[in-house]
A and B are shown apart, each in its own frame.
Chain A
Amino acid sequence: MNNLNSSATPAAGEYAGDEVSAIVLDPGYSSVRAGFAGEDVPKSVCPSWYGQIDSDSGPQYLFGENAIYRPAPNLQIKNYWGADGVVEDWDTAAKLWEYAITSRLTGTRASDPSKNGLNDDPKENGNGEAMDVNMETIENQEKPLEESPLLMTEPGWNPTKAREKAIEIAMEEWGTPAFYLQKTGVLAAFASGKASGIIIDVGASHTSVTPVLDGMVLKKGVQKSPLAGNFVSNQIRLGFKRSQPEIPLTPHYLVKSKTQVDAGSPAQAVYRTFDTPPTDSFRYYQEERVLTEYKESVVEVWPGPGRLSNGTNEEIAKSMPGRPFEMPDGWNQVFGVDRFKAAEGLFDANAALTDDANPRPKDEHTLPRLVQAAVQHVDADQRPILLQNIVVTGASTLLYKFGDRLNYEINNIYPSTRNKLIAPGPVVERKYAAWIGGSILASLGSFHQLWISKKEYEEQGANIVEKRCR
């Protein structure tokens, strides 16, 4: 067994970045991150939500924030992700990803204007509104990724079919010379400089707990649960509805102008009117933006010890100073203990607000139980090592005091081991950890032998991902 010594520092030449202008694509439920490997943040971050306007000549797709934030009649906002955390609408997914890559990264090809056909069709330069229309013409021309290998991320539970689909798109539609798929968990660990650990990723649609050993996911231990950012949003909505009087949730696009009002008093704003009001899905998505703002500035996680419902904890929470929030229409309020309740359901199923549409979450979907289950499925010898490297990632972990609570919960389950949370401070590192890990990986000279090349793909077919990316 010849193992490289992992504790010794590599010789100067062995850090060996070797940048081959690879592109890293990290699609998530709420946003798609794309950028060149070797850079430290993704240059292109675009919502996974897209706009669709159905017309007689077929559906028209809108990608990117600028396009989908503008209210338009019959504009529907959709997401290509399925409820189970797997891409559902592959066609749109491919278009949206391509938009994310071409709009900011490869874009106009400066190298050879005579060849790439961009000069023939100036519309291509736009923000992709006409993408589908142009697909046919582009087909004959150069493919968008001909120059760049592509490293894509996938959730830990991605089924074989989805993986094969991904390499198909990359190879055939985009013409990438080389491709690789890596799990978000592994990459998030790499971003924190760890090859082994437990990665807790609380995103938008799913929370996942992934045990990783030596850069390989331990599949039996991967846990996922729907209690994540969207769940917190729904909790906030429920909380707003339950509150007396009900808290109005008015998205930005409805407000023309607003005047300042006292806390708690009704808003005095001038509202916009529409001939044909935007669809419900548009409104929902816009509300979601307000809720994300609310999450960022008001929602707080009860830091422990104990749950919020334990003993006098709620009394203590009540006595803490509140946090103010102002809606787009000027309505404002200082939020007291209610702000703790929105996220408590992530840790304590009993504390979740429920109604017909939002049933009580399952106990085994709460974070402590997920961690416990993940650890349980790992070989006993590796458990302490993993617990020493608990990497926290995903934008929903930015909730105030989230780390404190998680720390308490884990120490509560495993009081006898040395548990260490690795939660990078900078927001960017927390939000884009998987992308950053991919950026590191794809810019390493030693990684280039792992790429699945176009030749290999053509020889062995799409199933090669199963053999090579494991």
Chain B
Amino acid sequence: MASGRDVRDMLGLPMGGDVQKGAVQKRAKVAAPVRRIQGVAREVAALYGERPPPVAVYEAKKAYRAKRQNQGPAKKWVQQPFINQARTDGLVLKHWRRKPTTAPAVQDGEDVPMEEGDNTEPQVEINGDYLKYKIEVDIPTFSDEEYEAHLRSDDWSREETDYLFQVVKDYSYRWAVIWDRYDYQPAHKSHLPQQTANSEASQALAALPFAPPKQRTLEDLKARFYQISAKLMKLRIPEMQMDAEQYATYEMLSTFNPELEGNRKLLAAALMNRSMDEVKEEEFLLAELQRINMAAHRLDAERAELRARLEAPASNQQVSAGMSSFTSSQALQALFQQLFQQDRSKKRASGGSGGPSRISLTTNDLIQTPSSANAQMSAAARRQSMATNQSVQTPIRTLSPQQEYRYNVSTHDRLTSGVTFGSDKLLKMRQAKSNVQTQKIATALAELGVPEVISLPTSKVSDVFEQLIGKVSKLLDVRKVREKEEGECRVLEQMKERRNSEAQNGHVSMSNGTSVEPQAKQEIPDSQEQTPGVDAEGEADDDDNNGADGVADADGDGDGEVEADAEGEEDDEDAEGEEDSRVPSETVSRAASVGHKRSASVLSQGSNKDSKRARK
């Protein structure tokens, strides 16, 4: 679109007055619309009422068009003759170009009419812009000697080979075109590429008694060309000296297999020429395959999800680090225990008993305000625990036992905070205080044929499992007690034997006594040493401590059998109490282990000897 200014400019009219007039008009109109709305527009405006119109109205005049910079007269254009450098024949064509301004600007006005009168031929421009499109393809070349020595072929004459190379060059390696245009006429003695079918010439040829020219397939052409290229390449650069790229090309050229290529094309053509029915069938089968695949995937995904739900807590709990491992109540409790142990051992190390503990020790605290127990506890876990607390407060509808059974509703006197997994609980039950004990339980369960992982750990299953575990541990305890009893019996028998033999030769006991003495000594400093020792494996530590205590006790009591009874009772309690809460059970089990240690210490000959000596 030409603006008025352009038109005026072209026609050479003066600009000043009109432009100003236009500007004045514009200004008047901009000011006007507020007051002077007329006709329908006014009524429409009245309909708007107070509100502004829904569409912002812009003035059509305000076109965002760059102002013409040049105020002077229109620039002259000339038909500039030029020579395209991509040509060799010096063809001169003309194109429109801005007339180069040679004269200074002031003189321009005067010069123009003169120049037009002159009609001087403008200089011929040399244009090299399109030189880059003049592209010649690289074609391997060979001398006559090379041809004779290496490139001869029974199937190809020298003339046809030359012709092939010419066509390849002419059509820049576009093999489909090369094959299309390939039309070698052996009758032509000239080397010129007379490939086009000159109708008369071909007719004349047909009449001649020559054998018709061989029909070459695209693969034949390629094979010949590639073969020659490869040979020439090898002649020019020995295989050893080729760089990777060259070698790749060489390899490609020398391994070209026309038959394979031809067969591939046959297959491709066959694929294309399939009938509608075949295509439909294939489509149908493909759709079917996809459907089956999708169904299989979905099934797999569902199974995987189910499996993940069943197994995840067991496999993840120990491995996964960080906060995520503290999301279950058990994990939190374990953490608490750990911290608790550390705290206690530190306290012992400092020897102080009255110092304020960093972590509150009462189990009540632990259960009611888990968040206070550990500053590290994640916000998520806190929210979880709060949610659980809320659910406790909701009123409970009472159900008949049948209903309870049917809907699998269970009531609890006391709920631990947080979400617990049934499998978690089962796993916990398998674990005893010491590793040895845990292993024993595991072997016992394995003997019974209870699997490692119990899928579907419902509350009923866990109840039964709990009973089972209770019995198993009871059994184990009984066995232990029995072993202990047997051991003591053995000791007593030995003592009896020894006493008899002592009575026979007294000096033997002397040597015995000296050998035993260091042992006893060793045991006492040992226990002292270990008391202050901060040990990560608190349990073994504790046991040792307790063991030391136990030795003292045993010394005091002097009777093994009574203790063994008490132990048995304690262990029973232990097994039963475990379900309710971990902490009490732990204390109990610790008490039990105290018992074990005591008996173990009783077993040691040295201590026995000591006591015997004391009695002596």
Contacts and interface: CB of A to CB of B under 8 A. Distances in A.
Contact of B272 (A178, A383, A470): A383
A19 B95 contact: yes
B199 A159 contact: yes
Contacts of A467: 193
B177 interface: yes
B323 interface: no
Given A2-B135, A2-B137, A214-B174, A20 B272 contact: no
Nearest to B280: A415
Given A446-B130, A449-B134, A466-B196, A380 B269 contact: yes
Interface string A161-187: 000000000000000011000000000
A453 B89 contact: yes
A453 B133 CA distance: 18
Interface string A13-33: 100101111000000000000
B179 to A, nearest CB: 6
Contact of A415 (B86, B129, B134, B274): B274
Given A16-B129, A160-B196, A213-B176, A414 B272 contact: yes
A351 B298 CA distance: 54
A456 B94 CA distance: 18
A218 B176 contact: yes
A380 B272 contact: yes
Contacts of B87: 448-449, 451, 453
A56 B169 CA distance: 57
Interface in B359-409: none
A445 B89 contact: no
B130 A415 contact: no
A272 interface: no
A456 B193 CA distance: 18
A384 B198 CA distance: 31
A147 interface: yes
A219 B181 contact: yes
B86 A381 contact: no
Interface in B326-352: none
B53 interface: no
Interface in B195-212: 196-199
B274 A446 contact: no
B174 A449 contact: no
A417 interface: yes
A412 interface: yes
Nearest to B274: A416
A72 interface: no
B199 A160 contact: yes
A443 to B, nearest CB: 10
A456 B91 CA distance: 9
A1 B175 CA distance: 13
A20 B193 CA distance: 32
B268 A380 contact: yes
Contacts of A2: 135, 137-138
A355 interface: no
Contacts of A466: 196
Nearest to A385: B176
A451 B91 contact: yes
A149 interface: yes
A377 B177 CA distance: 11
B275 interface: yes
A277 B181 CA distance: 53
A344 to B, nearest CB: 21
> Of A20, A159, A177, A178, which is in contact with the most chain B CB atoms at under 10 Å from its CB?
A20
Interface string B82-110: 00101101111111100000000000000
Interface centre among A178, A213, A380, A414 (most CB of B within 10 A): A380
Contacts of B134: 449
A94 interface: no
Interface of B is mostly: mixed
Contacts of A219: 180-181, 196-197
Contacts of B279: 415-416
A220 B176 CA distance: 11
Residue from B91, B96, B274 with most neighbouring chain A CB atoms (10 Å): B91
A18 B95 CA distance: 7
B284 interface: no
B481 interface: no
A382 interface: yes
Interface in A120-173: 147, 149, 159-160
A349 interface: no
Contacts of A384: 272
Interface in A367-390: 377-384
Interface residues of A, number: 47
Interface in A420-461: 445-446, 448-449, 451, 453-456
A218 B218 CA distance: 14
Interface string A207-239: 000000110101111000000000000000000
A389 B10 CA distance: 46
Contact of A470 (B91, B137, B196): B196
Contacts of B177: 213-214, 216, 218
Contacts of A446: 130, 133
Nearest to A17: B95
B271 interface: yes
A177 B89 CA distance: 12
B91 A177 contact: yes
Contacts of A16: 129-130
B173 interface: yes
B2 to A, nearest CB: 19
B265 interface: yes
B17 to A, nearest CB: 33
A90 B276 CA distance: 48
Contacts of B268: 380-381
Given A16-B129, A178-B93, A415-B274, A381 B196 contact: no
Contacts of A378: 176, 180
B274 A379 contact: no
A380 B181 CA distance: 16
Most chain B CB atoms below 10 A, which of A178, A378, A416:
A416
Contacts of A382: 176
B156 interface: no
Contacts of A381: 176, 265, 268
Interface in B116-137: 127, 129-130, 133-135, 137
Contact of B174 (A213, A417, A456): A213
B178 to A, nearest CB: 10
Interface string B135-148: 10110000000000
B77 interface: no
A16 B171 CA distance: 24
A213 to B, nearest CB: 5
Nearest to A159: B199
Given A16-B130, A414-B272, A416-B271, A379 B95 contact: no
Contacts of B173: 1
A445 B93 contact: no
Contacts of A453: 87, 89, 91
B199 to A, nearest CB: 6
Contacts of B266: 380
24 contacts: A1-B138, A2-B138, A19-B95, A21-B79, A159-B198, A159-B199, A160-B196, A177-B91, A177-B93, A213-B174, A213-B176, A213-B177, A213-B180, A220-B180, A379-B218, A379-B265, A380-B266, A412-B276, A414-B272, A446-B130, A449-B134, A455-B91, A456-B89, A470-B196
- Counting from the closest, the 3 A-B pairs by CB-CB distance are A449-B86, A453-B91, A379-B176
Interface of A: 1-2, 4, 13, 16, 18-21, 147, 149, 159-160, 177-178, 213-214, 216, 218-221, 377-384, 412, 414-417, 445-446, 448-449, 451, 453-456, 466-467, 470
Given A4-B135, A416-B274, 14 more contacts: A1-B137, A1-B172, A2-B137, A16-B129, A20-B93, A177-B92, A219-B197, A380-B269, A381-B176, A381-B265, A415-B275, A449-B130, A453-B87, A454-B91
